[in-house]
Structure 1
Amino acid sequence: MTAKTFHARRLPDHGAQSGWMALLPPRTTRPALDDTVTTDVVIIGAGFAGLAAAVRLADLDPKLSVVVIDADIVGNGASGRNSGFLIDLPHDIASGNFGVVAAAKNRDEILVARTAIQHYARLAQENAWDQDIFDPSGKYAFAMTEAGTAHLKAYSKQLKSMGEANQLLGAAETEELTGTRSFKSGLFTPGAVMVQPAAMVRAIADSFRDPVSLFERTPALAIETASSGCVVKTPKGTINAGRVILATNGHAESFGFGKGKLLHVFTYASLTEPFAPSLLGGSRKWGATPAAPMGTTIRRINGPDGDRLLIRSRYTYNPNIEAGVGTMKRAGTRHDRKFADRFPDHRHLKMQYRWGGAMALTWNSVPLFGQLEDRIFAACACNGIGGTKSTSAGIAAAELLIGHHSRLGDIFRAFDKPQPLPLSPLIGLGARLNLAYREWQAGRE
């Protein structure tokens, strides 16, 4: 085969630290690579996909040597910036994708999500994680408007037709749960899991033992392929490997993979200062997605210093995979408005942490998955549901590399390839208009 080299044109820049990381105690990071090492498999990226791939490889072949590298410290990347929902059901609750024609597709989507949840449930049990890290509590969806309530009722009916348990809540029940009168209705689905995402990925990374090794603050600068194997160059070291799994989500494009096929979108979150639990009635721990796509996600969490509320909203197109200070400030202004609309009696609470996180989307909503080049495999492009889709992509990539057959692998291998995006500047204009229109459609939701 002809030797090829793929250079990284840029490295990740995640911006402001996430609130999830800020709340965690100090951790001793794994050292950066400063030598030459040889391994069977090197995984680039220690987020949901990369960590899941490493765990699955160890399950399938405990003797296989695996090196995982990350450009940053574990938990500071996109996975640790997630809003912390592992959702087992199709995400777009207003899509209407529950007809007879779409039944098989929806079942596959549910299998992908539940495979990821089962993966983490096993790790939680094996490593004795507490419910601050992994809480199989289910989740809610809340409606702020009559239109949102109609969406929830339709979704509930569709779920019941599929045999999926759920429970509708009226205004009084949502007030009892949340401590605020702002919501008109809610819907509870029991299969979702609430996680502290930064704590969870840190716990997985810290559980690695030989023959799985982790190097943090070790960006891949180049990937070279030849008949004898692959070489991954880092700032101070070199990794000789039989094969590579690329688990860098949108940064796959930095190496030239998926070029012109990945749409880079950021979403944003704010987390309040701690407050006394008695300040807000209702349950002290819950999470809710919006009753319309592109709406506002909310979580209430608690810790030793009191309770906090998280708001996630706002989507922007960022082709350079970075979010500037101005963009972050505008997102924060929207968060403050959304927060005041939902908790008017507590609008005095200040936001202590604000951050953004990158997603990679494709035109036809499929992952960048499978063998990209000889010896190079990918589990990238989460399409906005990173907690479950990225995890299952990592599992499926590991199985593909090993040659292990599973229903999950069948689903991922059956995906179409990502379609090319329209040429610039059309893609930029179209992406920004589409995001703005969908956020306008969401309205108060």
Structure 2
Amino acid sequence: MSRHVIKYLPTDTGVSGWEATSERTFPVAALEHDITADWLIIGGGFAGLSAARRLSQSRPGDKIVVLDARELAKGPAGRNSGFMIDVPHNLSSGEYSVADEAATKDEIRQNRLAISFAADVAAEYGLSRETFDPAGKVNAAASERGMGLNDNYRKSLEKIGEEHRVLDAAQMREMTGSHYYRGGLYTPGAVMIQPADYIRGLARGISSKVIIHEHSPVLELSRKGRTWKAKTACGSVSAPKVILGVNGHIQSFGHFRGRLMHVFTYASMTSAFSQNEFGGDVTGVDRWALLPADPMGATVRKITKDGLSRIVVRTRFTYDPSLKVSEKRVAGIAAEQRRSFDARFPGLERLPMEYSWAGALCLSRNHVPAFGEVEEGLFSACCENGLGTVKSTLAGIMAADLATGVAGPELDKFKNQPEPTRLPPEPIAWLGINSVIRFQELRAGREG
């Protein structure tokens, strides 16, 4: 017999602008009875819902149940920047492309498999262009160092034959309306999503084949014989196979302890404004998406819907093994983001930030997922290494295939990875990781 008691739940701080502006079109239903199923998926984010959809395709006659501790899209899945990126994007490195050529090509192919899966979701369930936009993204440089990092990235993409386009300062200004940037590097394969709308659209699309219970945190997961039983406050689900799509929270279920880094990043979203409200083209075209040339810099996106626009700024990282951050910290970082925003758009000082929030990431030191069959009938699809939209989608697909015995070359490659390496003990890890993060943020300089 195996028994895991979950003593702590992750805390989501602040109100995500993505979730607040998302439209929900189906009711919330919590688990209120004891039920049985063929499959239980714990976690209703990118990993869990992707696994659910994959299972509904490969096992159409099976009963599939998803449990989520919160309301869909109010957790980490609705708190990211909304980039589905195909080319290398390693946040733990000082540059985006660091692997050898073969490994880089493998990563790109896997990322595109996840993006293709998401594109099928968008097409099948009728997601709008505002929700799923295959527009590509730009690595924006605001300093001489940033220009050098972009040039290194350009060379690495050129070496493996990846399409890209260099943008000069005038082109960046035309796109964004800002004089802040010196240049950019455009890659066409990224998709921009409204993450809360995407998650809710995916859940709505699979709802005829999958049972989803929200506000149903698992408090205990135990196995007797070949049956797993997940207990919530008001009910339970018993199933022979369970997939965990809970990212760093998997440590609360007894696995990968001391091997995962719990990192928070922070974002603010402006209130809505019309294109002519501030005069001229002060924010450029209707939609654009910028990653910083330095991974520790500021991610900036402009979105437009029904003639009204908003701008999202994401900056700062902190290592927090407690899986919670304070409202005070979010407010303090929001003030920093205000300064970052004003530096880029000096004509928008009167535009308020309407929402500010924190979002959890999970990283491993060796940049590998927490994946595989961790106990008999219990599968992990966790640790997205800072690219949750794509990596978690991929992990969910791969976990479903592994659990159903669907063989294939992509699964073989994905599961044939080392497990996450151990971290130093606390407080050494806290001191060391936060020191490295802060040094890298300071080094980013004008890119932040």
TM-score over 0.5 (shorter chain): yes
Aligned letter for 2:407?
A: H
CA distance in 2, matches of 1:268, 1:96: 20
User: Which secondary structure state, in structure 1, belongs to the residue aligned with residue 61 of structure 2?
Assistant: coil
Aligned to 2:243: 245
In the superposition, relative to structure 1, how do residues 341 and 191 fare at CA in structure 2: closer, same or farther (>3 Å)?
Answer: same
Aligned to 2:336: 334
CA distance in 1, matches of 2:27, 2:433: 38
CA contact (8 A) 1:111 1:408 kept: no
CA distance in 2, matches of 1:97, 1:353: 32
2:427 to 416, 425, 443: 425
| Shift in Å, 1:340 | 1.4
CA distance in 2, matches of 1:286, 1:48: 23
1:124 to 117, 122, 125: 122
1:312 to 299, 311, 314: 314
After superposing the two structures, state which structure 1 stretch, 189-198 or 297-306, moved more: 297-306
Question: Is 1:42 matched up with 2:44?
Answer: no
Aligned to 1:5: 3
CA distance in 1, matches of 2:283, 2:444: 27
Deviations along 1:334-393, whole A, 9 cap, x unmatched? 111211121122233211100110011112221110011111100011111101111101
Aligned letter for 1:171?
A: A
Aligned letter for 2:287?
A: K
CA distance in 2, matches of 1:334, 1:385: 23
User: Which secondary structure state, in structure 2, belongs to the residue aligned with residue 295 of structure 1?
Assistant: coil
Aligned to 2:359: 357
In the superposition, relative to structure 1, how do residues 211 and 134 fare at CA in structure 2: closer, same or farther (>3 Å)?
Answer: closer
CA distance in 2, matches of 1:96, 1:185: 17
Aligned to 1:385: 387
Aligned letter for 1:286?
A: W
User: Which secondary structure state, in structure 2, belongs to the residue aligned with residue 443 of structure 1?
Assistant: helix
CA distance in 2, matches of 1:212, 1:350: 40
| Shift in Å, 1:317 | 1.2
CA distance in 2, matches of 1:401, 1:47: 19
CA contact (8 A) 2:264 2:317 kept: yes
CA contact (8 A) 2:89 2:97 kept: no
Aligned to 1:292: 294
In the superposition, relative to structure 1, how do residues 211 and 274 fare at CA in structure 2: closer, same or farther (>3 Å)?
Answer: closer
Instruction: Give 4+ residue runs of structure 1 displaced > 6 Å after superposition.
Output: none
Aligned letter for 1:63?
A: G
In the superposition, relative to structure 1, how do residues 306 and 210 fare at CA in structure 2: closer, same or farther (>3 Å)?
Answer: closer
User: Which secondary structure state, in structure 1, belongs to the residue aligned with residue 206 of structure 2?
Assistant: coil
CA contact (8 A) 2:111 2:391 kept: yes
| Shift in Å, 1:277 | 0.7
CA distance in 2, matches of 1:424, 1:28: 43
- Number of matched residues? 441
2:57 to 49, 59, 71: 59
CA distance in 2, matches of 1:44, 1:412: 21
Aligned letter for 1:215?
A: H
Aligned letter for 1:193?
A: V
Aligned letter for 2:362?
A: A
For structure 1, the 5+ residue unaligned runs are: none
Question: Is 1:229 matched up with 2:255?
Answer: no
CA distance in 2, matches of 1:210, 1:27: 14
Aligned to 1:156: 154
CA distance in 2, matches of 1:12, 1:85: 23
After superposing the two structures, state which structure 1 stretch, 24-33 or 230-239, moved more: 24-33
CA contact (8 A) 2:105 2:160 kept: no
CA distance in 2, matches of 1:159, 1:412: 22
| Shift in Å, 1:316 | 0.8
| Shift in Å, 1:151 | 1.4
| Shift in Å, 1:242 | 0.8
| Shift in Å, 1:211 | 4.1
CA contact (8 A) 1:9 1:255 kept: no
Aligned letter for 1:370?
A: G
CA contact (8 A) 1:208 1:214 kept: no
CA contact (8 A) 1:274 1:305 kept: no
CA contact (8 A) 2:265 2:360 kept: yes
CA contact (8 A) 2:283 2:345 kept: no
Aligned to 2:325: 323
CA contact (8 A) 2:268 2:337 kept: yes
CA contact (8 A) 2:18 2:195 kept: yes
CA RMSD of aligned residues (A): 1.5
Deviations along 1:222-273, whole A, 9 cap, x unmatched? 1111223111111101111011101100111112211111111100100011
CA distance in 1, matches of 2:103, 2:3: 37
For structure 2, the 5+ residue unaligned runs are: none
